[in-house]
Structure 1
Amino acid sequence: MEIVSINPANGKVLKKYKAHTALKVEKKIAQTHKAWLSWKETIFTERAVLLNKLSSVLQQRKNELARLMALEMGKPIAQGISEIEKCAGVCEYYAKNAATHLKEQLVETEASKSYVTFQPIGVVLAIMPWNFPFWQVFRFLAPALAAGNCGVLKHASNVPGCALAIEDLVEQAGFPKNVFKTLLVGSSEVDKIIENPYIQAVTLTGSTNAGKKVAEKAGSVLKKTVLELGGSDAYIVLADADLGHAAETCVNSRLINSGQSCIAAKRFIVVKAVEKEFTRLFKEKMQRKPMGDPLSNITAIGPQARVDLRDELHEQVKLSIAKGAKCILGGELPAGDNAYYPATILTQVKKGMPAYEEELFGPVAAIISAKDEADAIRIANDSVFGLGGAIFTKDKKRGEMIAATQLEAGSCFVNSLVKSDPRLPFGGIKQSGYGRELGLFGIHEFVNIKTVYIA
């Protein structure tokens, strides 16, 4: 079996890779388990030194790695450089904070001493997507290594070059051999990997359907999972919002990674009083974002990662229009053998349309009209997803109350786009998954939270 890397900007094959056999996969997992037996005994200061070295290596190679992303999955190169810098930052964060996050916690009981300690559990399997081919991996890898765990990666099959580059980065940073390995396999091999006795837990970022399958399999062999799945983030624009700022922020969020982000803004719920003006500003700003060669520093919208994904997005747009949505920008497939899709705006979006009900994974914005604030909150929560959300208002206290208590999502921002941050927990609710990555809560997901009691 071959795993093929294809440039989505022109449809040309970049490179073909020979997939790992089942026997080779078993060997690599066994090697990683063996490495863990030593790695778990290292002290935090040793792990921190290596994580900081990994951060330095990422910074040194950021241009090369950003180019690789642009070629394999179409990410605009300027965004790729930012992604690598963010990976370097998460390594530095856990180098600095892991010891504090995993410090023993004394608990007063009738015992002479009782406390909670956080111990590494072993080899964690990461099943990762193509849209942020480095960041998605490093936000699992940095806390896992910091906690004394090891990892194996089953990456998306369209970014094998990125997957192998991550293994190379870890080696270059000087980590002990085999603490992290990449497995070049297709999705059909995942069940068998989960069953491997050396795999202790699974983390997946991907579609809701993929999450359900992995959770079912992991549950059948009693292995913990963390799932970060799809999202259809709602951005509420209230009547007192700074519309210029709101429109600019909403456009930037919608076009992150050419629209291919779980936490990109997707539904723009605007109260009727300012809907017309917001839509005008939003369209004006969307039109200014250039689509083109992902290797160009001025490109804001590169190709979609694959032609089939682009075509699926276009079908969602067409069906929404057929059901009554109005397309005021974009919506037409460009000519040529490529995976490009233009910035697109749909208005008059209502319940029952794909643009309302489903995740649109690309540069397509759905503007939904709300009667008032209460109606806007109702619409925002009228979704099977619950990953992120944002609200725009000049009344920050009001915005905070809505974000903290009214919106049903794992991350809620006021007057800002939703983003992940190494210092803050990240994850969703409902069909957007469960568990948390990053911050204190992220590093606690894959440790043995152990009670120690001395009479």
Structure 2
Amino acid sequence: MPIATVNPATGETLRTYEAMGEEETERRLQLAEATFRTYRTTMFEERARLLHRAADLLDEDRDSIAEVMTTEMGKPVGQARAEAAKCAKAMRWYADRAAVLLADEEPDPSDMKDSGASRVLVRYRPLGPVLAVMPWNFPLWQVVRFAAPALMAGNVGLLKHSSNVPQTALYLEDLFHRAGFPEGCFQTLLIGSAAVDDILRDERVRAATLTGSEPAGRAVASTAGEMIKKTVLELGGSDPFVVMPSADLDRAAEVAVTARVQNNGQSCIAAKRFIVHTDVYDAFAERFTRGMRALTTGDPMDEGTEVGPLASEQGRRDLAELVDDAVRSGARVLCGGELPDGPGWYYPPTVLTGITRDMRVHREEAFGPVATLYRAADLDEAVLIANDSSFGLSSNVWTRDEAEADRFVRDMEAGSVFVNGMTASHPAFPFGGVKRSGYGRELSGHGIREFCNITTVWHGA
């Protein structure tokens, strides 16, 4: 795949980049290692000052970088501005809290009696250069939610971004440089996917984080396992959105539309499978389909656009094949489902019903504005359908019955359960999944500690 900016609204290649060669990659690895030796000794106050400066610069650049993101991967420009603002918020959150999150800890005195120590501390120390392999769908946010805690912990970052967002990738390196971080603290590697394995095998790289596809996750996890290096993986999801009879149907349907088409439907935590109790199925389906049909699809630079193009021609082809397979197997299309004419990689908001377990769309993640509707006879069947997936990233449950909500929280196989609300990531909440959605956590205190050497410090009497 070439490293290039290709406008998904037109299919036009706007800018192409040469991949870095072995010599430049080696120079950057050497720089990362050298920078880490000194940066790891900086105080939290200094790191926080630099990260606050990066947040301020990002706020100043919000409009311009939003246009770059929209041009490179097609999200509506208003959503791109919101992503930039969210990144600045996360930077400030970690800048203000890292010292507390990583403060030395002392065991309870009662646990010290037979330890033979006069004092024991648990200290969080940085690991070193961390390789981040990041996707295109949230080209700023996916990187910042790794970079902000990693830099505050005293690590340095090496970014291998998706090849279709090179301008965003280079902007991120420039942003941290302009903020005053030492050269080598955060570097973008303009390389293809084939070069990742060699970099991960390099002894100077101490850990890796990846957000992306299952095959990419398997490849990184396999090499990291062979090299015995820590990894955090987030590999997508097919999140359930369960609606029970006691739910506020109008509100649930309204949120369901947003939950399905946010970021043009290309979000790991977008609700994708809508599981509705039979007593309210018809009423919900009518409201939901009406809302999906009413969405404005068009130029992502237009402020009125709600759904833009998919990020790539291949992505649209893959999505269309999922829909076509379902229709051939008996699914019914309530709206959408047909490729539009004209330039760009657009796909209409689509609702499918009559889904069966043998359909690919039931097993695979639909990465685009395609929703599947399921009818559940009762709570037990709703839980069964929700968990009948190889993924387990997040989930949504709509009910006013507290006992039902407790049951879903207990039994849902997912990293998050959102009750009467849409899944969203936030700096203060741990983010990650189970099953084939990956392992480890980003964000919150859990996220900043993932790439720390959790050290026991024992003092004799």
**Which amino acid is 1:54 matched to?**
A
Pick from 427, 431, 434: which aligns with 2:439? 434
Work out whether 1:382 is the aligned partner of 2:388. Answer: yes
Q: Does the 8 Å CA contact 2:399/2:405 hold for their aligned counterparts? A: no
The CA deviation at 1:399 is 4.7
Equivalent pairs: percent with the same residue?
Answer: 46
Q: Does the 8 Å CA contact 2:383/2:408 hold for their aligned counterparts? A: no
5 Å-filtered alignment, 1:43-442, equals: 43-107=43-107, 108=109, 109=112, 110=115, 111-395=117-401, 397-442=402-447
The CA deviation at 1:357 is 1.3
Q: Does the 8 Å CA contact 2:293/2:336 hold for their aligned counterparts? A: no
SS of the equivalent of 2:417 reads strand
2:99 and 2:408 mapped to 1: Cα distance?
Answer: 31
1:136 and 1:183 mapped to 2: Cα distance?
Answer: 16
**Which amino acid is 2:68 matched to?**
L
RMSD of Structure 2 on Structure 1 (CA): 1.0
Work out whether 1:33 is the aligned partner of 2:33. Answer: yes
**Which amino acid is 2:96 matched to?**
K
SS of the equivalent of 2:290 reads helix
* Worse-superposed segment, 281-290 or 86-95: 281-290
SS of the equivalent of 1:273 reads coil
Could you say which residue in structure 1 is the equivalent of 2:449?
444
SS of the equivalent of 1:453 reads strand
Q: Does the 8 Å CA contact 2:310/2:368 hold for their aligned counterparts? A: yes
The CA deviation at 1:420 is 0.8
The CA deviation at 1:404 is 2.5
1:411 and 1:453 mapped to 2: Cα distance?
Answer: 37
Q: Does the 8 Å CA contact 1:390/1:403 hold for their aligned counterparts? A: no
The CA deviation at 1:2 is 5.3
For residues 2-29 of structure 1, the C-alpha deviation after alignment (integer angstroms, 9 at most, x for no partner) is 5221111101111011110012111111
Shift >3 Å, 4+ stretches:
none
TM-score normalized by structure 2?
A: 0.97
2:2 and 2:28 mapped to 1: Cα distance?
Answer: 19
For residues 235-269 of structure 1, the C-alpha deviation after alignment (integer angstroms, 9 at most, x for no partner) is 10001111001001111010010000000000000
2:80 and 2:335 mapped to 1: Cα distance?
Answer: 27
Could you say which residue in structure 2 is the equivalent of 1:454?
459
The CA deviation at 1:288 is 2.0
1:69 and 1:115 mapped to 2: Cα distance?
Answer: 44
Q: Does the 8 Å CA contact 2:333/2:352 hold for their aligned counterparts? A: yes
Q: Does the 8 Å CA contact 1:116/1:451 hold for their aligned counterparts? A: yes
* Worse-superposed segment, 398-407 or 119-128: 398-407
The CA deviation at 1:349 is 1.2
For residues 11-62 of structure 1, the C-alpha deviation after alignment (integer angstroms, 9 at most, x for no partner) is 1111011110012111111101111111100101111111111111111101
For residues 421-448 of structure 1, the C-alpha deviation after alignment (integer angstroms, 9 at most, x for no partner) is 1001000000000000000100010000
1:173 and 1:39 mapped to 2: Cα distance?
Answer: 15
